[in-house]
Amino acid sequence: MDIKAYRRPEQMSPEGQAITQALAEYLQQITPNPFIRGQLIQRLDLSTTPTRVAHKLNTIPKGWIITRIDADQTVYEASTTTPFDSRFIQLVASGDCTVDIWVF
């Protein structure tokens, strides 16, 4: 999900200008947050073998979180390779599991 930049209307009433200014100031606080520019990757099968996962961010991710997991396993970054680059992350689990992750 890509968040588009906020564009102010050309002409409006003074009340509309005040609302637009408040909205612009609020959005300037939110849009730089890398977490909201992430990608959800669903039904990812992991095991004790490192798995290369395409994240589609086109930049090096800041991190990832598990949003769903179907087994009592631990998921972590593979330590035998570079875990992150601009196209892939490498994950491994303590045992077989299927996860959904948010990469940001």
Per-residue model confidence (pLDDT) at position 32: 80
Contacts with 51 (C-beta within 8 Å, 6 or more apart), sequence order: 44, 45, 78, 90, 91, 92
Rounded-to-integer distance, Cα 38 and Cα 61, Å: 9
Domains of the chain, by residue range, sit at: 1-32, 37-103
Which mean pLDDT values do the consecutive 10-residue runs of the chain (104 residues) have? Answer: 65 84 85 86 97 93 96 91 84 98 96
**Per-residue confidence (pLDDT) for residue 33, from 0 to 100:** 83
